[in-house]
Amino acid sequence: MHLHIEPSVLYFGTPVALITTLDDDGGTNITPISSAWALGSTYVLGLGDDSHGLANLRRDPGIVINLPEASLAHRVEAIAATTGAAALSPHKAGAYRTEKDKWGLGGFTPSPAELVGPMRIVECPVQIEARVERIVPCDDDASAVHARVLRIHAREDVVVPGTHHVDLRAWRPLLYTFRHYFAQGEEVAQSFRAEY
């Protein structure tokens, strides 16, 4: 039997991404998100309209989508209750605070990107440089950001040697499920389109 349920959020589980965007003073802000999926060579990112990262992207389309591995969960959570915005939205007042240095707070190390302005996060094994092509307003005070992938950096140990394949035994994405962090479980099957 299936029950009618009304969960407070619809976060059934997606990978965490740390998007980095360029502040107007040339610094780089970090925004943890989980609303991120790929459509061909475009990433679609769901961002709240009060996100400082979104404000940055409206001004400068360069973005890095940094993908943390499961072992970084506590560092992600260390910056979770912060925003790069100088003023808190009513929604964030009381629960969040402004933080200019999310890098120091989370223990993250910046490294220059090659094709866009914001820094890459060294601790993330995968860093995707992209350029925003479209920002579509959505319901619920959020927007869907369409970002075309320009270049992907993958740490050597998560790449199958001599190939462009991510090593599925080495890659351990951090998953966000109903506001809890999980590591990936065991493989249960493979698609008919699996390449190795």
Ligand X SMILES: Cc1cc2nc3c(=O)[nH]c(=O)nc-3n(C[C@H](O)[C@H](O)[C@H](O)COP(=O)(O)O)c2cc1C
Write down the residue that tokens 């249960």 correspond to: 188
Compute the least distance from the CB of residue 102 to ligand X, in Å: 7
Q: Binding to ligand X by residue 29, rule CB under 6 A? A: yes
Q: Which is nearer to ligand X, 32 or 61 (CB)?
A: 32
CA-wise closest residue to 73 among 134, 32, 102: 32
Residues 6+ apart with CB under 8 A from 92: 50, 83
Q: How many residues bind ligand X (CB under 6 A)?
A: 20
Distance CA 73, CA 167 (A): 21
Q: Binding to ligand X by residue 51, rule CB under 6 A? A: yes
Compute the least distance from the CB of residue 129 to ligand X, in Å: 18
- Can you state the percent helix, strand and coil of the chain, rounding each to 5? 15, 40, 50
Distance CA 42, CA 77 (A): 27
Q: Which is nearer to ligand X, 35 or 42 (CB)?
A: 35
Distance CA 124, CA 75 (A): 11
Q: Binding to ligand X by residue 176, rule CB under 6 A? A: yes
Q: Which is nearer to ligand X, 41 or 178 (CB)?
A: 178
Q: Binding to ligand X by residue 28, rule CB under 6 A? A: no
Q: Binding to ligand X by residue 143, rule CB under 6 A? A: no
- Pick out residues in 83-102 that bind ligand X (CB under 6 A): 83-85, 96
Q: Binding to ligand X by residue 20, rule CB under 6 A? A: no
Q: Which is nearer to ligand X, 76 or 124 (CB)?
A: 76
Residues 6+ apart with CB under 8 A from 133: 42, 61, 146, 147, 148
How far, in Å, are 22, 34, 76, 160, 176 from residue 70 at the CA level? Answer: 26, 13, 10, 20, 10
- Pick out residues in 57-86 that bind ligand X (CB under 6 A): 76, 80, 83-85
- Binding residue for ligand X (CB under 6 A) from 52, 63, 128, 173? 52
How far, in Å, are 52, 128, 183, 186, 187 from residue 48 at the CA level? Answer: 9, 21, 25, 33, 33
Q: Binding to ligand X by residue 47, rule CB under 6 A? A: yes
Q: Which is nearer to ligand X, 140 or 191 (CB)?
A: 140
Residues found near ligand X in the complex (CB under 6 A): 16, 29, 31-35, 46-48, 51-53, 76, 80, 83-85, 96, 176
